[in-house]
Amino acid sequence: MELLQIWKDAVPFLMVGLKLTIQLTVLAVLFGCIIGLFVGLGKMSKIPLIKIPSVIYIEFFRGSPLLVQIFMIYFGLSQVLGHSVDKFWSAVAVLSLNSGAYCAEIFRAGIQSIERGQMEAARSLGMTHVQAMRYVILPQAFKRVIPPLGNEFIAMMKDTSLVSLIGLVELARSGQLIVSTTYNAFQVWFLVAIFYIVMTVIISEFFVNRMERRLQAGDRS
Instruction: List the CATH code of the domain at 2-220.
Output: 1.10.3720.10
Domain spans in the chain, listed from the N-terminal domain onward? 2-220
pLDDT for 211 equals 72
- Can you give the three-state secondary structure of the chain, one letter per residue? CHHHHHHHHHHHHHHHHHHHHHHHHHHHHHHHHHHHHHHHHHHHCCCHHHHHHHHHHHHHHHHCCHHHHHHHHHHHHHHHHCCCCCHHHHHHHHHHHHHHHHHHHHHHHHHHCCCHHHHHHHHHCCCCHHHHHHHHHHHHHHHHHHHHHHHHHHHHHHHHHHHHHHCCCCHHHHHHHHHHHHCCHHHHHHHHHHHHHHHHHHHHHHHHHHHHHHHHHHHHC
Residue 215 banded pLDDT, cuts 50, 70, 90: low
Looking at residue 31, what is its pLDDT? 97
What's the average model confidence in pLDDT over 190-194? 95
pLDDT at 25 over 60: yes
8 has a pLDDT exceeding 90 = no
**Percent over 70 (pLDDT), the chain:** 95
Mean pLDDT across the chain: 89
pLDDT tens per residue across span 108-144: 999 998 888 888 888 888 888 888 888 888 888 888 8
Split at pLDDT 50, 70, 90, the class of 205 is confident
Residue 4 pLDDT > 60, yes or no? yes
Residue pLDDT, tens place only, 141-150: 888 888 889 8
Structure-model confidence comparison of residues 218 and 135, the more confident one: 135
pTM (2 decimals)? 0.89
Least confident segment among 14-23, 103-112, 164-173, 200-209: 200-209
